[in-house]
Amino acid sequence: MAGLRIGILGSGKGSNCRAILERIRDDSLGAEVGVVIADVENAGILEIAKEFGVPAVYLPPGTFRTKLEPGAEHALVDALRGAGVELVVLAGYMRVLKSPMLDAFPHRIINIHPSLLPKFPGLEAWKQALAAGERVTGCTVHYVDAGIDSGGIIAQREVPILPNDTPPSLHARIQIAERELYPEVIAQFCR
């Protein structure tokens, strides 16, 4: 299937990656995945890519915990360009991207975050929302910039916080919303 060529970056299980690949397989998304790249060698997202017949690549991130070493970031740019990627989709990618990536794909890198940004950027946003006594949280698709969850907002989906919510129960409902919203946003890019 032809269409917008996307590259998916992830560090974990890959539930959003699976949702995107399922929508592509069902022909409800005008896109194709050129490559799935992980910064964790045994990340589940790589197995999901293989299951769907998509090239899966592990790129060692280097020694930094929250970003890529410069050489690793250049290798990432090369891998995405080599796969003909037009839109970079972060799906649980736990590293801050810097100028090599941001320069190579200006306004063409998107991320999904489990809160209604600008509230609760960073890690475990659902726990932050619960601790703050919020009544509503959700997820946000946004452009990636050099900051942490600070790029322009593209779309949001609200998720109510229920009186008996725990961090795992709230996170599970936010993930359901993410798996609906992210493919919808990618479809808008395809159009």
What Å distances lie between residue 68 and 18, 23, 74, 93, 96, CA to CA? 24, 30, 9, 11, 8
For every residue of 86-98, DSSP letters joined together read: SEEEESS--SB--
Q: Is 171 among the residues known to form the active site?
A: no
Residue 100 in tokens: 């090599």
Q: How far apart are CA 24 and CA 33, in angstroms?
A: 8
Q: How far apart are CA 53 and CA 34, in angstroms?
A: 10
Q: Which of 74, 113, 142, 171 is catalytic?
A: 113
Contact 37, 118 (CB under 8 A): no
Peptide bond into 114 cis (omega under 30): no
Catalytic residue numbers, as ranges: 113
